[in-house]
Chains A and B, each alone.
Chain A
Amino acid sequence: MEDESLHSSLHSLRGEYEGTREVYRTRRNEMPEAQVKMKVREAGEKASIIDIEGDLTAFAEAVLMDAYNQASDGRARAIILNFEDLEYMNSSGIGLLVTLLIRINREKQELLTYGLSEHYRSIFQITRLDDAIAIHDSEEEAVRAANSV
């Protein structure tokens, strides 16, 4: 029941996404800047990486959750978000990360990140997401930490 309500929250925005390993979504023409592309890849035995490219806003919700579902398919005990190609994030994007974190915690998984620029590290600090999400400097470091979970 609770999972259902969370799932419905995370998919409350309309949109279409492909059920492939690469997910892409562009909002309607009036907001061409709301674009995001996510790729999912495995990293060791226990972790999956989600590469985020583009904008993390409310309109990325369906794409992010689809990527998460793919990433946690199988044995992944840790999900790593790669922000190296993040181009834009607003407060709704931060909200998405909070709801993703809650879902990951509920699944007894761990959420890690790497590739955050100084600017986005500062945003994690202001919003106090850094209290709950591990931030790493490189993919190697994040993967090592994830596989030692």
Chain B
Amino acid sequence: MTEQTPQDEPREKQKREPRDAAYWAKYAETLKVAGVAEGATNINVDGRRAVGPLQGFGKMWQKTYRVSLAGTEVTPVEVIKTWKENYQEFWPEGNRFYAPLAGIAPGEVALISGSLPGGVKLSTGVMVLYADDESFSLMTPEGHPFSGWITFSSFEEEGTTVAQVQVLIRANDPLYELGLRLGGHKMEDEMWRKTLENLAAHFDVKEPVETNVVCVDPRIQWSQYRNVWHNAGIRSAIYSFTAPLRWRRNRPER
């Protein structure tokens, strides 16, 4: 029989209350949007499951984009606070992020309006999987072009604050995989490059964005081809095409 010493107490406490407990989203079977902002479309998020890189169809990629905020005194905590509060402002034009009412906090769900190659409008969303003072991660729902996580972080490296976006993703279904190969990767790279440039500009920094792309798993997960059923691009297009029908159905009787 062992006797507990005072030194053991903090360790026991840590086991009861993990230091990261407040930073993670709580488990829910499906996503639920708390409130739909004006202009947002919630047709591909409510009721969908969140998916990680293991559930997708295409090759698995890890892409890292980073910019040095050299010449500023801004700390990683300040960078992430600014990023969370102004997420939409740093996105390139043509995409819209409807931040959750409670802000970027664990478990919150945001709606997104974007565009796919070919000009198809896309309505989808993301769940805030993790958020602490120096990083936050977004997880995608079924039907999103990607299955995986996007982590935004800031840290010090050799005395300079660095801002980073890292994605760990697969294309969610065969159509998205094709789209990625036909220009989607380039669009995504450009999007995160522009985001980091905008973030750096907010701190009056003009530095090049470094990109590192690694194919973590070159295999296609053919068993996931059915993910196409939830394809948010197709569903968004159908929703747009049928808008006149909804308008006629919903207009008041004379």
Given A9-B214, A126-B25, are A120 and B18 neighbors across the interface (CB < 8 Å)? Answer: yes
Nearest A residue to B16, CB-CB: A117
Within the complex, the shortest CB–CB distance from B170 to chain A, in Å, comes to 11
Does B188 sit at the interface, judged by CB under 8 A? no
Residues of B within 8 A of A123 (CB): 24
Q: Which of B48-69 contact A (CB under 8 A)?
A: 50-55, 60, 62, 64
Contact between chains at B27 and A92 (CB < 8 Å) = no
Q: A9 touches which one: B50, B54, B62, B132 (CB < 8 A)?
A: B62
Contact between chains at B212 and A2 (CB < 8 Å) = no
The count of residues in chain B whose C-beta lies closer than 8 Å to any C-beta of chain A is 39
Contact between chains at B215 and A98 (CB < 8 Å) = no
Q: Mark B124-166, 1 if CB is under 8 A from A, else 0.
A: 0000011010010101000000000101010110000000001
Does A138 sit at the interface, judged by CB under 8 A? no
Residues of A within 8 A of B214 (CB): 5-6, 8-9, 12
Does B186 sit at the interface, judged by CB under 8 A? no
Contact between chains at B52 and A98 (CB < 8 Å) = yes
Residues of B within 8 A of A91 (CB): 129-130, 135, 137, 149, 151
Q: A119 touches which one: B21, B53, B62, B151 (CB < 8 A)?
A: B21
Contact between chains at A88 and B19 (CB < 8 Å) = yes
- If A31-B156, A94-B149, A98-B216 are given as contacts, then 6 extra A-B residue pairs at C-beta distance below 8 Å, sorted by A number, are A6-B216, A87-B18, A90-B135, A92-B151, A122-B24, A128-B52
29 contacts between A and B (CB under 8 A): A2-B215, A5-B215, A6-B215, A9-B214, A12-B64, A12-B214, A30-B156, A31-B156, A58-B153, A88-B20, A90-B23, A91-B129, A91-B130, A92-B135, A92-B151, A95-B151, A95-B166, A98-B216, A117-B18, A122-B24, A122-B27, A126-B24, A126-B50, A126-B129, A127-B52, A127-B129, A127-B149, A128-B50, A128-B51
